[in-house]
Structure 1
Amino acid sequence: MTGPFPRDGGRVVVGVTGSLASLAALRYAAALARRDGRALLAVLAWEPPEGEALFARMPDRAWARLWGEDARRRLEGALVDGLGGAPSDLPFEARVVRGAPAGVLCAVAGRPGDLLVLGRAPDGGRLARLRRRPVLRAVQRRAPGPVLTVPGPVLLPGEARVLRRNARTSVPEGRTGTEVRP
């Protein structure tokens, strides 16, 4: 894992959504931070589902608190899925920030020497070509420093269906989902 990225003590900032591509980016960012002796900062940006403009017309703090808690749970879940939890072998911080993802990521990774790492869904197939990746494009245009994109895993259609189905299945609290029932 060598590359033309600055090693001057900046942080490795990784955008996290919980997608397979962002989990790949999270793992790669952690490996870069370990290799270079940098701090790792995982960021999940969120906005109200209807957008800030509409929310501003009829703000509701209870809903905003609920969405913020959901974002925190998604970030914690992504850390568990991608790294097995918060890494203890390197300086680490996780942040949930309310705002447009591209703007938040560019602002957070604005220190000199910071490297921003983002996941990118794999190319291929008609649906993938139609996907525009607006956050990735906006970050690449506006980022004050280098941006590294990490491709997500390529899945067969059947594998993607199984993952979506399993994601919808919840495991009761206190269980691991691996217990065998007689």
Structure 2
Amino acid sequence: MDAQITRVVIGVDTGPGSLTALRHAWAEAQRHGAVLHVIHAFGGSDPQQYGPACIGAPDLHAEQRRRAREELRKICVDALGRTPAELPITIMVVRGRPGAVLTRYADRPTDLLLVGAGSARLLKRLFTSSVTAYCFRHAQCPVLSVPAPALVREYGKGARRWNGWVRRQADEAAREALLHGASHT
């Protein structure tokens, strides 16, 4: 990298791996003396993520954005120990597909884009769209992939594979374990 990094951009979701990735992004921003931009893209792949949609609800997107912003604040507090207002970071909630949102925002050669490493399972990589792969293909800046901690990878082998409520419960259990210092090797 020839250019000085001035912005560190990271996309986070509601999964427990976001805690580790956000901590890594904060460390990179500190190391480079850069501003950290935390982005949560919603509505691109899981429209039910923030509750059921009501047909004809005039403020549905505003409500989804409000809930996503609340979740983003909680992730920042969980990962960094302080609210976004107490830190020199910028947070954004953007409607759209995560990969496209991130690469559109991290558009400078002096940006550093951090993304989760994604699934190591071959079948999942073959049949699903990977935000990480999209970012590596389309980014105009350096991209750093952050692997999920071992605890999160182990959850992925069990209950987290199921859809819906069970997956969300497994994510929350992994997040709590990561917050309270549990490790799994």
Query: How many angstroms does 1:8 deviate by?
Result: 1.2
Query: How many angstroms does 1:103 deviate by?
Result: 1.2
Q: 2 CA distance for matches of 1:158 and 1:84?
A: 26
Percent same amino acid at aligned positions? Answer: 36
User: 1:82-133: per-residue Cα shift (whole Å, max 9, x none)?
Assistant: 1112468863111111122111101111123000001124636x87667745
Amino acid in the other structure paired with 1:153: P
**Worse-superposed segment, 89-98 or 140-149:** 89-98
Residue of structure 1 in register with 2:35 after alignment: 39
**Worse-superposed segment, 152-161 or 101-110:** 152-161
Amino acid in the other structure paired with 2:133: R
> In the alignment, is the contact (CA less than 8 A) between 1:117 and 1:147 conserved in 2?
yes
What are the equivalent positions in structure 2 for 1:1-182 lying under 5 Å apart?
Answer: 5=1, 8-47=4-43, 49=47, 60-86=57-83, 91-121=88-118, 123=120, 132-155=128-151, 156-157=154-155, 164=169, 167=172
> In the alignment, is the contact (CA less than 8 A) between 2:119 and 2:125 conserved in 1?
no
> In the alignment, is the contact (CA less than 8 A) between 2:8 and 2:37 conserved in 1?
yes
Query: How many angstroms does 1:40 deviate by?
Result: 0.5
User: 1:30-68: per-residue Cα shift (whole Å, max 9, x none)?
Assistant: 001111111101000112717xxxx9xx77432111111
The alpha-carbon distance between structure 1 residues 136 and 157, as it changes in their structure 2 partners (threshold 3 A), is closer
> In the alignment, is the contact (CA less than 8 A) between 2:15 and 2:171 conserved in 1?
no
Q: 2 CA distance for matches of 1:69 and 1:88?
A: 16
SS of structure 2 residue aligned to 1:123: coil
Query: How many angstroms does 1:13 deviate by?
Result: 0.4
Q: 1 CA distance for matches of 2:85 and 2:170?
A: 32
Structure 2 length normalisation: TM-score? 0.69
The alpha-carbon distance between structure 1 residues 142 and 157, as it changes in their structure 2 partners (threshold 3 A), is closer
| Unaligned segments of structure 1, at least 5 residues | 169-182
**Worse-superposed segment, 153-162 or 37-46:** 153-162
> In the alignment, is the contact (CA less than 8 A) between 1:120 and 1:149 conserved in 2?
yes
Residue of structure 2 in register with 1:178 after alignment: none
| Unaligned segments of structure 2, at least 5 residues | 161-167, 174-185
The alpha-carbon distance between structure 1 residues 63 and 26, as it changes in their structure 2 partners (threshold 3 A), is same
Q: Rg: which structure is higher?
A: 1
Q: 2 CA distance for matches of 1:15 and 1:80?
A: 16
Query: How many angstroms does 1:21 deviate by?
Result: 2.1
User: 1:119-175: per-residue Cα shift (whole Å, max 9, x none)?
Assistant: 124636x8766774522111111111111010011224599759825838xxxxxxx
